[in-house]
Structures are given as C-alpha cells and as structure tokens.
Structure 1
Amino acid sequence: MKWSAVGKAFSPRPFNKTVLEKTMQRAWGLHHEARFRDMGDNIFAVHFGSEGDWRHAMSNGPWQFDFNVLVLKEYDSNVRPSEMIFDKVDVWVRVTDLPPGKRTESFGRALGNWLGEVIKVDVDKDGMARGNQLRVRARISIFEPLVRVFFLKATQEENNRT
C-alpha cells in the first residue's frame, strides 16, 4: 500500500490506539487524515492520506510517543509483524564549531558512519554545510545509549596530550 508505514512504540505497557492516533497526527502536523491499525505488541500500521504527509513522517523523526521512542519503517505487506525488526532509528546530529575545512559532505559522511549508517548530510550544492553547523542524518541502534555531547579533537598532538 503506497503511503503506508509500520511503527512500533517502545513502551513498557500497551498503547491506546486512539491516543496514539490523535497524538501522532498532531505531532506529524498532517494535512490529511491518517488511518491507524493495531497489529499487536505495540506495533501498528498507518496509512497516510497523502504522499507529502508520508514523506514528512518517514524522514523528519525521530518521533516519540508517551516519552518513548517510536520507530517507523516502510510498509511491507509480505512480512509478518512478528518478523519485523525495529532496532534502529534515524536521528539528526548537529555538529557545531567545526573548522570551515571540516564543514564538508565527506567529513559529515565519515562522522555519520562512525555513529551508525549515514542517511543524509545536509549540505548545499557545493558540498558545504549550510550556515555555521553541519547536520548529519544517521541510522543508529535504539539499544545503545544516546550521547548528548562529545568533543572532536583537532589534531593527533592534541590526542596525545589527554
């Protein structure tokens, strides 16, 4: 089914479908109504009313529901819910205070691959970061703790001093 996704709410307790539906339609800022279907084990299918709404929900996360991560995947009608693997989530990483020579797509790809799997590096047509920060979208494991801040060392000499 086009414009459909399957999601899982990583909550310790079962979710209420009606609450999930109302909450996520607001969070996604949908222009058309979406239809939700409970598939058991906190897994649900959602059919979006337009391609734009589907693209927004699929590419602008990560999303949360009831203070827990919500993972969305493209809908595959040939896979059983019990066989679906929800172990990764796409996140945006913002890197600030980089030297101008490091605000490149290639550096963003290297950083994103270090974090997980690179999905996208937000750069202009010349391959440079937009503005004073580099943004990287990476697919990371939901089972690894999130690191809020880390500092990149400038040189090998700096690494040897610490």
Structure 2
Amino acid sequence: MESELAALSIEEGEEEILELPPEIQEVPDPYALCLVGRFLTSSVIHFLAMRNTMADLWHPLGGITITDIGEKRFCFKFYHEVDVSRVMEGSPWFFNNHLLLMHRLLPGEDPLLVSLDHAYFWVQIHDLPPGLMSEAMARQFGNFIGQFVEYDSKLVISGRKQLLS
C-alpha cells in the first residue's frame, strides 16, 4: 500500500476545470440573511456601543457582523436563518431607549432605499368579558390601532386556566 501511495502524483488524472459562462454563474446575494435597521431618534448613535450591546443581547449562534452603511442605517448580517428569525420575532428592540426599526432584506433590495417607517408591537387587552376573547375581536382591535398581524391563542387559554384555578 505504501508503494501505491508513493507512486501517486497530483498531476496524474487531473481534469480541466469547468468554468461556467458569467450569465450562468450564480452570484451570491451579499444581503442574504441581512436585516437593515435604523434607530428612531434624531441623536447620534454611538456605533461601537450599539454593536457590542446588540451582539451581546441577541447572542446569535452563527455570529453577527454589524456595519454602519450610512444615512443612519445599519446592516445586521447573520450567518444562520434561525438567528434572523429569532431577532425578527423578538422585536421590538431598543438601544439607549431608541426604537430599532428593522426590515429583512430581500434579494435585489437596496438597503439605503427600503422603507423603515413601522414596527410591530404586541398589544394585550385587559378586562374583556370571556365571550369576547376571540381572534375576531383581536383582529378588530389590531386593525383599529394599526394593522393586525397575529393572534396568540395560547395566552388566552393559559389566562382562562389561571382564572379557573
């Protein structure tokens, strides 16, 4: 076996590298798994403090790269889908009491041109009679104060169990 390994040559059996024409080669999206964001404030955000705070707060499994892209916008590049989802689902996020408006970049979007003018908030309504605790009522409340996004029926069920026990 040693003699066979000694006789191996890298040049033996090499094949030519197949290169695809430029129109066929895939160009990786530089903004895949990226969020663009800006803070709702007119004051200056201290970039290094914000970068360290958000990285510590989110603690993504695959790491994060935070870049100041200008015009008071920041690019948050993640390396795993689960990290992006966790950050988006955990919003709203704040730094020094300034709300972070975020948008997940889609292929081809320019991070300097995307609209950063809204944020999602969970709203909890108290003292509703049990007959009105429904998704239809939640939808009406949500659309009255903004735009309804999601209804969490688990909270309603656990709230009823607490009332009954």
Fold shared per TM-score above 0.5:
yes
Q: Could you tell me how far 1:82 is from its partner in structure 2?
A: 4.3
Do the aligned residues in 2 keep the contact of 1:96 with 1:132 (CA within 8 Å)?
Answer: no
Q: How does 1:29-48 map to 2 (within 5 A)?
A: 29-48=59-78
Give the strand-richer structure, 1 or 2: 1
Mapped to 1, the partners of 2:116 and 2:32 lie a distance apart of: 20
Query: Percent identity of the aligned residues?
Result: 24
Do the aligned residues in 2 keep the contact of 1:97 with 1:132 (CA within 8 Å)?
Answer: no
Q: Which runs of structure 1 show a deviation greater than 3 angstroms over 4 or more consecutive aligned residues? A: 76-82
Q: Could you tell me how far 1:49 is from its partner in structure 2?
A: 2.5
The amino acid across from 2:101 in the alignment is: V
Alignment gaps of 5+ in structure 1: 134-162
Determine whether 1:7 maps to 2:40: no
Do the aligned residues in 1 keep the contact of 2:105 with 2:111 (CA within 8 Å)?
Answer: no
Determine whether 1:132 maps to 2:159: yes
Give the helix-richer structure, 1 or 2: 2
Determine whether 1:114 maps to 2:165: no
Greater Cα offset, 27-36 or 37-46: 27-36
Mapped to 2, the partners of 1:27 and 1:130 lie a distance apart of: 30
The amino acid across from 2:42 in the alignment is: P
Secondary structure of 2:151's counterpart equals strand
The superposition leaves residues 82-112 of structure 1 with CA deviations (integer Å, 9 ceiling, x where unpaired) of: 4322111000111122211111111111111
Mapped to 1, the partners of 2:142 and 2:32 lie a distance apart of: 29
Match of 2:99 in 1: 69
Mapped to 2, the partners of 1:112 and 1:78 lie a distance apart of: 32
Mapped to 2, the partners of 1:111 and 1:73 lie a distance apart of: 24
When normalised by structure 2's length, the TM-score is 0.70
Secondary structure of 2:120's counterpart equals strand
Larger Rg: 2
When normalised by structure 1's length, the TM-score is 0.71
Q: Number of residues paired by the alignment? A: 130
The amino acid across from 1:72 in the alignment is: M
Mapped to 1, the partners of 2:129 and 2:59 lie a distance apart of: 36
Alignment gaps of 5+ in structure 2: 1-30, 161-165
